């Protein structure tokens, strides 16, 4: 067998080790910062790993068996793996660009925070979306119409602070609505009370 096969195998092994280490570091930072750009770069390096593995396996099989036809078969398998990774990353990016809501578990965490405040009679129009690691949350809260403005503002500040504590970087917009018996929600048993 020609010497270039041995050199090719050695180069592929070094390439796999280096790309594996760098992609692992990049992916760790991408997850910590929730950066899709870094995640895409890490996936690109992982695609390089699969490509290098394909070349390595192809060279090894050709060296051992002399069957040159195995190389395109391995190339097709590697292409399928790279396509799958690219498809997944494209979906994530499109979800952000089209203002897809936060995952259900994150929305549920927001709802749980809202419900821990007894001053909140009800809420509606909870809308969430994401831009990179930055979450955008807005909602309408229904409070007793007789609640003092400073108290209502304090309730909103507490909810906003708790959401930011839960998610880190985020923008929270809360619209307050007074509760009365004609609010259409049928949830105003305390409207007659003075806060």
Nearest C-alpha neighbor of 187 from the set 100, 137, 124, 108: 124
Nearest C-alpha neighbor of 129 from the set 170, 180, 188, 81: 170
71-90 pLDDT, tens digit each: 788 888 888 887 887 787 77
94-124 pLDDT, tens digit each: 766 666 788 899 999 999 999 999 999 989 9
Strand ranges, E, within the chain: 120-131, 134-144, 170-179
42-81 pLDDT, tens digit each: 888 888 888 888 877 877 787 788 887 887 888 888 888 8
- Output phi, psi for 121, to 5 deg: -75, -40
Whether 192 has a pLDDT exceeding 60, the answer reads no
Its pTM stands at 0.56
pLDDT for position 87: 84
Buried b (16+ CB within 10 A) or exposed e, 149-178: eeebeebbeebbebbeeebeebebebeebe
């Amino acid at each position: 067998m020609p010497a270039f096969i041995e050199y090719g195998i050695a180069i592929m092994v070094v390439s796999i080790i280096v790309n594996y280490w760098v992609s692992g570091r990049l992916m760790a930072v991408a997850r910590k910062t929730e950066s899709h750009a870094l995640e895409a770069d890490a996936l690109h390096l992982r695609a390089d790993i699969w490509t290098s593995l394909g070349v390595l396996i192809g060279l090894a099989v050709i060296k051992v068996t002399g069957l040159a036809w195995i190389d395109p078969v391995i190339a097709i398998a590697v292409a399928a793996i790279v396509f799958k990774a690219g498809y997944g990353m494209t979906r994530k990016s499109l979800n952000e660009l089209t203002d897809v809501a936060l995952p259900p578990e994150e929305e549920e965490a927001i709802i749980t925070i809202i419900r821990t405040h007894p001053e909140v009679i009800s809420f509606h129009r909870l809308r969430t979306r994401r831009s990179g690691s930055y979450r955008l949350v807005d909602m309408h809260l229904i409070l007793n119409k007789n609640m003092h403005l400073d108290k209502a503002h304090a309730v909103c500040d507490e909810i906003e602070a708790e959401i930011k504590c839960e998610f880190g970087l985020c923008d929270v917009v809360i619209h307050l609505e007074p509760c009365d018996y004609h609010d259409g929600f049928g949830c105003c048993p305390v409207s007659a009370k003075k806060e």
